[in-house]
Structure formats: structure tokens, C-alpha cells
């Protein structure tokens, strides 16, 4: 069994393929013109930081290198390499198979097969099974995710349970949680939002029973989690794509509860926190906030996969300032009078809430659009959306 963690020395050989599939000359032009583009009564303002981050770019690059290096081998992905349907479709078209598809199974893998691990990483148990099968592994796990893993491992070794701000079903959070319990006596609890953090705080302060707490978190904690034992000493961690302001707020809530329970002088014995939001996620959140404060906009458009956590959080930020449309690609812009989008979490907690917006474009006067894209959205998709926006306004 071999594990490749630094590519396969074929970066230059796949560069043209990556440019063909994901580059946009229009996006280059918008960047060169100060991240804005005017066409008739439409002005598009593009956030200074958007789209593919380093970790995503690296993961996709490694996948292309893998297909080039092993043209005659069966190549598999454990699941989506990133949360973008267009990128995953390209990989499927290249012949890469997905173990999450109904017709595939990890149990059918052979030692001559190649398996790519996605940017989110994989749970410890899944990695062990792949290793036991002798497959060649291409590990594209993002460095920011690895940093979170180191923190939760350190918590567990020091006797602290990991409280993870994230989505319990998300690939990255599941992988991170597995790292906590891979250490002897390690435990974790996953909290999604302020409401769930408040339940934990109430338990710490003694105003909420452990039975009720565990009923609520029964599907988002480690096996055998005992709040009487496992919420005495806690360490905070995050899914790297969460909203930073929310993660910090939840951390402060739990910190304050620990102070109320144990006293400020004993805080270090009961509470730890390390900032684990990745820099690229934060850069994109900061950039759209800066843009939205510069001027008034007719609306904002956020581009990215509907299952992309960092994209949904960009939409949440925008929705706090202006009408916001989270779209997957240019096909969502059906016409100047019809738009399909996904409801932002600021407006709805329904994960699969598709919306049809009629008469979304102002019919008269200038239109100013704030535009950004999630870290798993390639430039070509951004460029296609810009072209479609221009076409809809100028029809």
C-alpha cells in the first residue's frame, strides 16, 4: 500500500486541463478592472476574495494528476472531492468512480485500485479499512482540516472533550469527530448553532438535566457520552467552513458558563479554545463584508454548491445586509423575470428549500450587484454567471 500526500509530480502535465475546465478570461478581466464590470445599467462588483481556495485547488489538481498517472487503473473517490457539482461531474467524466454511489462499495475494492481522499478528509475507521484493503491512496485532505484534527487529538490526550461547532452530517465534521474518539477516553459533542450551545450552557450551569441534554444530542455525540463526566473539561473546535463570528460567539457562551460553574481562577482547567476557521474561509467572509459596507446594492448573488457550508455562510452574511440569491450556476438565472435559488439560512433553516423568484430584476434604473462565490466554486462558473447577468439585464 502507498499513500501520496504531496501530489504525483504531474502538476505541469495537468495544468492545461485544469485551465480548460475551470479558467475564465472574463473573471480575469473583472479582476484587472478593479473587481467591477459595467454593462449598460448593470454594474457588477466582485468581492476581492472569492472562489477556489488553495486547499480546493490542490485537491482538484491531485485528482487530475491521479487520473493522468493511473490511466488504466480503477480510480475511486470516497465521496465528493469538494462540494461543487460541476467539479464532481468533470471527475466522473474522466472515469473516476464514487464510492458513495449505490452501485459501488468499499468492500469490493482490490489492492490494485486507487482511492482519492477528499479535501474534507475521511473518518479514521474508513481510512483504516482502505489501508487494510491495500489500495493506493491519494490524500488531498486540506491542511486547515488537519490543524483541527491536531487540536481535538490534543484535547483528548489532555482529558478534554471536544465540543465541535459544525454540522453533524458534514463529511469534515464526521472526520474530525472520529479523530477525537481515536484517542483513548476521547469524547465529542457537536453543536450547530446558538440554540444548541445554550442547551450545553444550561447544563453546565445546572439548569438543564443531563437526560434532556442527551435526548437532544443523541445523534451528535460520541458513544457513551456522559455529560456528568464529559462536560467538566471541554475544548472548542470548528468545522473549518463555519461562520467565524458565530463560532466565536458560541465559544464565549460556553466559556462564560464554565466561569459561572467553576470560577474564573479555574477556567484553564475546564475550558480551552483554539481558532480553527480556515484562513481562506475567513478571507472570503471578510471580503464580502467589506464590499457590502462600501455602497448600497440592488441585491447580492452568491455562487456555489447548495451543500457547500462555506457558500451558505457567505449567503447568510449577505442576507443580513441586502436581498440575496444563492445560486448554483448560471442555469439558475432562467430569464430576466425568473430565477431559481436556495433559501439562505438567515431566512430559513430548511436545508433543501428551493425558491422560485419572479421579477427579480428591477425593470428601470441602474442595477448594482454584489457578487461572490464559495471556496469550491471555480472561476468558469463565476464567469458564466456574470455573462448571464449581463444578458438578463440587457435583454
Q: 275-306 in b/e burial notation, b at 16+ Cβ within 10 A?
A: bbbbebbbbbbebbbebbeeeebbbbbbbbbb
Instruction: Look at the chain and count its residues.
Output: 395
Strand partners, 75: 114
Residue 197 in 3-state DSSP? helix
CA 283 to CA 61: how far, in whole Å?
A: 22
CA 280 to CA 158: how far, in whole Å?
A: 29
CA 144 to CA 147: how far, in whole Å?
A: 5
Q: What separation in angstroms does the CA of 51 have from each of 47, 58, 84, 292?
A: 10, 13, 11, 17
- Which sign, positive or negative, has the C-alpha torsion 212, 240, 168, 269? negative
The catalytic residues are 172
DSSP string, 339-372: EEEE--TTT---TT-EEEEES-S-SSS-EEEEEE
CA 279 to CA 90: how far, in whole Å?
A: 27
- Contact present, 81 and 91 (Cβ < 8 Å): yes
Closest among 236, 249, 127 to 178, alpha carbons compared: 127
Closest among 245, 243, 264, 242 to 255, alpha carbons compared: 264
Residue 136 in 3-state DSSP? strand
Amino acid at each position: 500500500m502507498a499513500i501520496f500526500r504531496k501530489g504525483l509530480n504531474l502538476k505541469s502535465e495537468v495544468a492545461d486541463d485544469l485551465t480548460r475546465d475551470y479558467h475564465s478570461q472574463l473573471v480575469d478581466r473583472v479582476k484587472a478592472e478593479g473587481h467591477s464590470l459595467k454593462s449598460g445599467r448593470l454594474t457588477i462588483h466582485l468581492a476581492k476574495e472569492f472562489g477556489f481556495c488553495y486547499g480546493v485547488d490542490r485537491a482538484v489538481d491531485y485528482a487530475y494528476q491521479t487520473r493522468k498517472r493511473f490511466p488504466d487503473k480503477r480510480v475511486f473517490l470516497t465521496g465528493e472531492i469538494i462540494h461543487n457539482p460541476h467539479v464532481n461531474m468533470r471527475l466522473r467524466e474522466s472515469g473516476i468512480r464514487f464510492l458513495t454511489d449505490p452501485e459501488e462499495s468499499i468492500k469490493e475494492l482490490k489492492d490494485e485500485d486507487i482511492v482519492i481522499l477528499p479535501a474534507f478528509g475521511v473518518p479514521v475507521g474508513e481510512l483504516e479499512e482502505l489501508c487494510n484493503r491495500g489500495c493506493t491512496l491519494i490524500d488531498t485532505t486540506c491542511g486547515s482540516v488537519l490543524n483541527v484534527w491536531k487540536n481535538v487529538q490534543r484535547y483528548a490526550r489532555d482529558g478534554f472533550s471536544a465540543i465541535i461547532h459544525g454540522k453533524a452530517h458534514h463529511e469534515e465534521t464526521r472526520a474530525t469527530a472520529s479523530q477525537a474518539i481515536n484517542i483513548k477516553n476521547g469524547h465529542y459533542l457537536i453543536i450547530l448553532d446558538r440554540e444548541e450551545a445554550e442547551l450545553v450552557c444550561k447544563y453546565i450551569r445546572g439548569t438543564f438535566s443531563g437526560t434532556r441534554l442527551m435526548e437532544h444530542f443523541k445523534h451528535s455525540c460520541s458513544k457513551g457520552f456522559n455529560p456528568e463526566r464529559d462536560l467538566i473539561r471541554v475544548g472548542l473546535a470548528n468545522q473549518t467552513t463555519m461562520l467565524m463570528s458565530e463560532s466565536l460567539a458560541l465559544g464565549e457562551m460556553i466559556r462564560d458558563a464554565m466561569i459561572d460553574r467553576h470560577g474564573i481562577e479555574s477556567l484553564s482547567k475546564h475550558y480551552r479554545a483554539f481558532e480553527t476557521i480556515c484562513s481562506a474561509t475567513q478571507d472570503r467572509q471578510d471580503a464580502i463584508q467589506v464590499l457590502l459596507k462600501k455602497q448600497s446594492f440592488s441585491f447580492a448573488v452568491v455562487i456555489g454548491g447548495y451543500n457547500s457550508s462555506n457558500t451558505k455562510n457567505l449567503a447568510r452574511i449577505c442576507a443580513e445586509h441586502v436581498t440575496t440569491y444563492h445560486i448554483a450556476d448560471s442555469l439558475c438565472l432562467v430569464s430576466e423575470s425568473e430565477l431559481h435559488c436556495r433559501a439562505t439560512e438567515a431566512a430559513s433553516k430548511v436545508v433543501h428549500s428551493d425558491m422560485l423568484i419572479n421579477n427579480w430584476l428591477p425593470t428601470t434604473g441602474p442595477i448594482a450587484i454584489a457578487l461572490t462565490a464559495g471556496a469550491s466554486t471555480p472561476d468558469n462558473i463565476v464567469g458564466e454567471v456574470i455573462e448571464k447577468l449581463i444578458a438578463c439585464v440587457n435583454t
